[in-house]
Amino acid sequence: MTGKRILLGITGSISAYKSALLTRLLIKAGAEVQVIMTESAQAFITPLTLGTLSKRPVLTRFVSDEAAGTWNNHVELGLWADAFIIAPASAHTLARCAHGLCDDLLSAVYLSAKCPVFFAPAMDLDMYRHPTTVENLRRLESFGNHIIRAEFGELASGLVGEGRLAEPETIVQTLETFWSIDKPENPSSPAPYPLPLLNKRVLVTAGPTQEAIDPVRYISNHSTGKMGYAIAGALAQAGADVTLVSGPTALPLPHPTIRRVDVLSARQMFEAAQVAFTEADVVVLSAAVADYTPAHPADRKIKKKEDTFSIELTKTTDIAATLGAMKRDGQLIMGFALETDNERENALKKLYAKQFDWIVLNSLRDAGAGFGHDTNKITVIDKDEQTYEFALKSKIELAQDLVNLVTQKLASA
């Protein structure tokens, strides 16, 4: 980002404290940063802090010096910038920009901007889910703006859910990726390589779940998440807006634009997936979710006493079946089946029972396939029972094969 000129808009949100680190990271990456703050933002972080970090006076009003008659020219600012990032973007600011209201410097610069604009929303859980906010985000995106989705986690209210400002590192990575793949010299020329899933929203679940027995022990499985992470990376490389709901794994984020939601238990995975499912165009359910969980997990470590020990288990929510029942017209779902016996029969039952468009079948009988390997061997069956056989190959290569099936289906639709 060396030499890039970036406007950083900061609005009234507790997440404004992260803008100091964001400013510093942008400067460190070689960018010039001009901060614009709303009046309410100044209640959370001072212009002095951000002016010191950006090495430029922070702009807060149209008129900079009434006595001298000088003002901050919003048109010139809009022409100066290579990118305008509004982070955090409060619900109020999203609504104003979505409807063209122009009562402060930040919104006037937004309406004047000739550069790409990125909104990174931050607010409480229910505000972020509210239909008004959802519609405002869609409206802004329809104008050609870019949305850096809020993250899942603990919020200032004490609630846990979606609404946290994306981490500053994620915002910087998003910008770097944008400029690396979307900068043709001639605006009318095609992108450097095709992005067949551009503007498509995709949910991917990956990895195992852990079901607590006590604070020390848990029930889990051998899934490493490698297949799901490879699929998420291939989808993002194809231009999709990917939300990756991940069980515990040591794997790195496969693509900088992916928004990862980390979970532990089957319940947490269901709750996170349910949120992302409502907006997803494509859903890939590759996680190995526990079918059962301890009915009464202990709050203290269970000591070894008896020769035998029993744990009462209860069924977890069937994520695939529940989401499949919520499926809307045009939405595509890909499920996975790891089988040891009657593979095709069991896979077909799952395909129809859970309203999948594809079922990806692999067998533990096949050498080099299944958990832990860098390779896999799969058979894909669609809802018309058309079968696609893929030989043993790397999971990265297979991920691209699966993305090709999704792309072809969307193109034919």
Residues marked active site are found at 221
Q: Is 126 annotated as a binding residue?
A: no
Nearest to 212 by CA among 305, 298, 306: 298
Nearest to 1 by CA among 258, 170, 180, 149: 180
Q: Is 393 annotated as a binding residue?
A: no
What are the DSSP E strand ranges found in 165-252? 201-206, 211-212, 218-219, 241-246
Q: Which two tokens stand for residue 125?
A: 């859980």
Distance CA 323, CA 278 (A): 9
What are the DSSP E strand ranges found in 41-159? 63-65, 70-71, 83-89, 117-121, 146-147, 151-154
Q: Which two tokens stand for residue 226?
A: 């490698």
Distance CA 320, CA 273 (A): 10
Q: How distant, in Å, are the alpha carbons of 270, 313, 351 from that of 261?
A: 12, 26, 26
Q: Which two tokens stand for residue 24?
A: 């510093």
Residue type, 118: F
CB-based burial label for 178 (10 Å; 0-12, 13-18, 19+): middle
Q: DSSP readout, 300-345? A: SPPPP-SS-----EEEPP-HHHHHHHT--TT-EEEEEEEESSSHHH
For residue 160, what is the enclosing H or E element? Answer: strand 160-164
Q: Is 304 annotated as a binding residue?
A: no
Q: Is 4 annotated as a binding residue?
A: no
Q: Is 350 annotated as a binding residue?
A: yes
Distance CA 118, CA 123 (A): 16
Peptide bond into 88 cis (omega under 30): yes
What are the DSSP E strand ranges found in 200-281? 201-206, 211-212, 218-219, 241-246, 259-262
What are the DSSP E strand ranges found in 183-253? 201-206, 211-212, 218-219, 241-246
Residue type, 225: G
Q: Which residues are annotated as a binding site for CTP?
A: 291, 301, 336, 350, 354
